[in-house]
Every structure is written in C-alpha cells, then in structure tokens.
Amino acid sequence: MNITEFAAYAGVSKAAVSRYFNGGYLSEEKRARIEAAAAATGYRPSLQAQMLRTRRTRQVLVILPKLSSESCARMVEGISAILEESGYQLLLINTANDSSKEIAALNLLQQNTVDGVILIATIFTPEHRTILSSLRLPVVILGQEYPGFCSVSHDDRGAARAATAHMLAKGRRRPGFLGVTMKDLAAGLNRRRGFEDALKEAGLVPSPKRANIAAFNMEAGYEQAGSLLAREGDLDCLFCATDSIAIGALQYCRSHGIRVPEDLMLAAVGDSEAGRVAYVPLTSVQLHYRMAGRLAAQMLLERLAQPHAQPQSRVLDFVLRPRASTGDDASGEDIWAT
C-alpha cells in the first residue's frame, strides 16, 4: 500500500498523511482518522521514497578494521545501542585490516548513501585526510584523536604510563617494551610515550634496545617476546601495548620456564577476557570501549543536527586492573566480564 491508496482509505489527502508521519500541523480529527487507518492497515511510509525525496537516509556507516577484535566489537555495540534509540540504521564495513578497502569504503561515501560515518581508526595516511576532508557528511573518528575532526578516543598514553608505573612501583628497574607500529597513533605511538613517561618519572632512561615491535596478535607477541628476552636477558618487567601481545609473551614465558611475575612482571592495555583468565591473570588497563562507541554515536547525531558546529574531541579515562602478572592478588569479582 502506498501513500495515495492509504490517504484514500483514510479519507484524507496525501499531504495530511505525510504530515501525520512527520509531525506537521494537523487537526485532531484528521490525526485520529489517520491513526485508526494506520492501525487497521499497518501502513508505513516507504523508506526508500523518503530517502529519495528528503535526501536523508537515516543510515550511519561504521568502518572498522576487524570485527572479531574484542575492542571493535564492543565499540560497535555501543554505537548500535545509541543509533537504535534514535531510529538510525547501522551499516557496517569490515575492512579486514586492508587499507585499500578502507579507502574504497570512504570513497563509497561520495554516493551519499549514508548520513554520517564513524571510522574506527587504525593508520591514517595522507590519502585518508584528503578523502575525509572532501566528504561533506559528518564524520567521527573513534579510537584516536585526529586534528580537524570530531573524535572519541582513550587516554592511551596515560594508560600505558599507569601500567608501567605500577610495575616500577613494585621495585622493578629493567623494563622492556613490546609495542606495535608507531603508525598507529593510539596503540603505537601514544602507548610508547606513556611507557617512556613512566620510566622518566622513575628516573630511568628509555632504551630503544629494550623495545620490540610486534603485529597485533598473540603469535607476534610470542615471537617478539622471545627475540627481546634473548637479546636483553636481564629484563625484570615487560609492558605490552596490547593484551594479545602480552598473552603471547606469557605463553613464551610459560614454555621457557620464565616465572611470571617472579622473574618477569607483565602488564598491558586492553583488559581482554583472555587476559583475565590467562594462566597468570594479566594486569591490564581497562578502556571503556562500549562507552566510547556510545559517545561517538551521540557526537555524530549532534553533528547531524548541527552540521556546522566546531569539531570536538573527547578523551576517555581508564582503570588499571592489577592482577597476578604483577604480583597482585585480584579479587575474584574482577575477572568476570563487564
């Protein structure tokens, strides 16, 4: 049934029907007639026709690198909750860590198929900036700050600093670092800086020799932990940029007879489920992923309402979760997921 048929059925004009569904002026009498007719027929306006006519799709695109990563999934859950409340639909593109797909996804936006975009950040190239700047629709970057654009991110530097400082406060003096590519500003650069902040505050000098770079997975953590520990045998604590890497490092320790925390303390950022239940529960820093997703969605909705407001950026705090990998005795409660 279309609006013409429905209007005839309800005995009103098409315009009245349109006003009913869009909150325009309407006499009580017509409103009641239309309401009854809608209940009787189940008529709903065609979204496609509305999209064509109004040039708004009420759809938001979320672009992310890897859905099966716990952090991404949680952020999308947050986004989804807010969008749903507001009657927006969520279009998802998983780029599977393929930068060219990310670019392709952004280019797709020029087809105006969505009202706004949330981009879960990874590595930004100049090409990203070019495309993002040329976009005429609201964009929110989630996961790192990005000058000139709205963003919601975590205090990665503070998180890394807190995790490292926690180990140094326990008397460790030879800290190692297992990080990720510095091209990733949040997990790479900022967490490295936070690590170094903690060292300096403790009167230590960061040494590049005591740092290795790994890919974003457990296996890389295992390998790089091996390479680092073989080279720098006297480390007494190790900060890892992500839980996955730390878990890989933990596996390495387990299979090579290195006792955690006695011989080597371990701390990371991310507070993943796997880390909480690992063979030595992993001290980690909890970031508020779901909340970040919610805020990003809210920020986008505000932008949709007021397209010309100044870009704003929001940085969320963190919670250190001390566990056995730094010699802390976690309360039982602590391990259950939020």
- Closest Cα to residue 70, out of 220, 271, 315? 271
How would you label 277-300 residue by residue, b for 16+ Cβ within 10 Å and e otherwise? Answer: ebebbbbbbbbbbbebbbbbbbbb
9 versus 182: smaller Cβ distance to DNA: 9
By a kind-dependent CB cut-off of 5 to 8 A, residue 13 interacts, out of a second copy, DNA, none, with: DNA
Counting Cα atoms < 13 Å in the Cβ hemisphere of 66 gives 9
Q: Is 96 in the site for a second copy (CB under 8 A)?
A: yes
Applying CB under 8 A, which of residues 42, 126, 147, 257 lies at the interface with a second copy?
42
- Per-residue binding letters, 14-33, with DNA (x by CB under 7 A): xxxxxx-xx-xxxx-xx---
Site for DNA in 30-59 (CB under 7 A): 30, 44-46, 49-50, 52-54
Residue 65 CA to residue 187 CA, distance in Å, equals 14
Q: Where are the beta strands (DSSP E) in 100-170?
A: 116-120, 139-142, 150-154
By a kind-dependent CB cut-off of 5 to 8 A, residue 12 interacts, out of a second copy, DNA, none, with: DNA
Residue 148 CA to residue 79 CA, distance in Å, equals 22
By a kind-dependent CB cut-off of 5 to 8 A, residue 19 interacts, out of DNA, a second copy, none, with: DNA
Q: Is 35 in the site for a second copy (CB under 8 A)?
A: no
Q: In the complex, what is the shortest distance from the CB of residue 216 to a second copy, in angstroms, rounded to a whole number?
A: 11
Regarding beta strands 175-179 and 150-154, do their DSSP bridges make them parallel or antiparallel, or are they unpaired?
A: unpaired
Q: In the complex, what is the shortest distance from the CB of residue 167 to DNA, in angstroms, rounded to a whole number?
A: 59
- Exposed, middle or buried: residue 204 (CB in 10 Å: 0-12, 13-18, 19+)? middle
Q: Is 273 in the site for a second copy (CB under 8 A)?
A: yes
By a kind-dependent CB cut-off of 5 to 8 A, residue 2 interacts, out of DNA, a second copy, none, with: DNA
Total binding residues for a second copy by CB under 8 A? 51
49 versus 337: smaller Cβ distance to DNA: 49
